[in-house]
Amino acid sequence: MALWGRQHQGKYDVPISGVLLEVLSANFHPLRNKMTLWDGSFPFYLGTNASFPFDITWAIIASIFLSALATSIIILPGIRGKGRLFWLLRVVTGLFVGAVVLTMQFTRDWESGWVTANTSYKSFSHAMVNADIGLHIGLAGVNITLVGNPVNQLNETINYNEHFAWSFNADYDHSYSKGLEKGLPSPILYVAEKFTTQSPCNVHRQYRISSHYASVTLWMALCTWLISILLFSMPVLLYGGYMLLLTAALMLFSLLFFITVRNIPKCSIQFGPGSLKTDYGGSFWLTLTTGLLCLLLGLGVIVLNSVHPQKLKLVFNLDEGKGEVDGWDKSHLPAESSSFEQDMLMVSLGELCEVTATKL
């Protein structure tokens, strides 16, 4: 077990009990043999935070939207004619946009990078490991991964995935201190230290503020997406197109807020001859693609409403008598009486008045 030798205000980061137990394990071989029951680590220390195969939040969001899609497919045979295909396309597109906007709040690969290097595994140890060190930056914090090549080295399983949050209800420095207490590997702590508030890199504040504004604009985009779905179902097609344009604008603004971080000087993260460099990740490009899709769909609805309104009604399965007037549906207006019915009503009232006068 490695000891942390960094001295902070006259104190060491490692508890005294850990130091004493390390000395005992070095001098008494029976005790060292007993420790192998816990894979070479002391039983009262926290275990490694291995990478989980998937995020539970993503699974919940995916299950909700997939359930809605399955329900739509079940009722699809009840729709007649060519409108069935257009209805399915609208449902799939709407669910895709909503799922992307909501999921991007919780993804951790807006910016990511990898480097393979031979690096020290623990402090005050000459043992070297060959591992892939990954840095994944999201809106809520940073994820740092360490995967050995191979995974089993030095009689340990080297497969770490540590999350350090910087949202406004979280304390990044406290998470970093917890990592020191847990005795995380040196590469993870080295990368995490670059994002602390006391780091000379001075990138913590920029990442935190830009991620916060990007998250807020995405929540607003989710609200405008819901409004557009309601407007299209009423149907108020023109205003639904406007809401799609607003959704696209908010998604693109969230990207602009996140891009501002890359204008600041980058801090070098060096591992021997190699360096860990990051670039835009899958979440960034997926958000950009979805934003452009909403932009094209919104413009398409507005243009078709002006040039070919009949084709737009065909796409939304609207009948001839169910069109729009000034952007609103006619179906909620009272039906106008015909001239023949008005004449009959006037004749009846006249006869009634004549009969009444004769009796008098």
Residue 252 lies in a domain: yes
- Environment class of residue 187 by beta-carbon count within 10 Å: exposed (0-12), middle (13-18) or buried (19+)? buried
Residue 360 belongs to a domain: no
Whether the CB-CB separation of 121 and 158 falls below 8 Å is answered with yes
Q: What is the per-residue DSSP string for 332-357?
A: GSPPPPPHHHHHHHHHHHHHHHHHHH
Counting Cβ atoms within 10 Å, is residue 193 exposed (0-12), middle (13-18) or buried (19+)? Answer: middle
- For residue 28, is it within any domain? no
Q: Could you tell me the end-to-end alpha-carbon distance of the chain, in angstroms, rounded to an integer?
A: 118
**At residue 206, what is the residue type?**
Q
For position 355, what pLDDT does the model report?
43
Q: What is the per-residue pLDDT for 310?
A: 87
The neighbour count for residue 246, using CB atoms within 10 Å, is 19
Alpha-carbon distance of 348 to 65, in angstroms, equals 60
Q: What is the 3-state secondary structure (H, E, C) of 244-280?
A: HHHHHHHHHHHHHHHHHHHHCCCCCCEECCEECCCEE
Residue 178 in domain:
yes
Give backbone dihedrals phi and psi of 137, rounded to 5 degrees, phi first. -110, 130
Task: Give the start-end residues of each E strand in the chain.
Answer: 7-8, 11-12, 111-120, 128-137, 141-153, 156-165, 270-271, 274-275, 279-280, 324-325, 328-329
- Residue 323 is assigned to a structural domain of this protein: no
Q: Is residue 296 part of a domain?
A: yes
Give me the pLDDT at residue 195, please. Answer: 92
Domain count, the chain: 1
- Establish if 275 belongs to a structural domain: yes
Q: Kindly state whether residue 105 falls inside one of the protein's structural domains.
A: no
Give the DSSP letter of residue 107. Answer: -
- 3-state percent breakdown (helix, strand, coil) of the chain, nearest 5: 55, 15, 30
Check if the beta carbon of residue 302 is closer than 8 Å to that of residue 231: no
117, β-bridge pairs: 131
Tokens 């008098």, residue located = 360
CB 142 within 8 Å of CB 163: yes
Q: Please indicate, yes or no, whether the overall pTM of this predicted structure exceeds 0.75.
A: no
Nearest to 190 by CA among 260, 98, 119, 111: 119
Domain containing residue 198: 111-316
Q: Convert the pLDDT of each residue in 249-298 to its tens digit.
A: 999 999 999 998 877 777 889 898 888 999 999 999 999 999 999 999 99
Task: Print pLDDT tens along the chain (360 aa).
Answer: 343 444 444 333 444 344 333 434 444 444 333 333 444 443 434 444 544 445 678 788 888 999 999 988 888 887 777 778 888 889 999 999 999 999 999 998 999 999 999 999 887 778 899 999 999 999 999 999 999 999 998 888 899 999 999 887 888 999 999 999 888 999 999 999 999 998 888 888 889 999 999 999 999 999 999 999 999 988 889 999 999 999 999 999 999 999 988 777 778 898 988 889 999 999 999 999 999 999 999 999 999 999 988 888 888 877 654 445 444 444 444 444 444 444 444 444 444 444 444 444
Largest CA distance in the chain: 130
Place of tokens 């094209």: 296
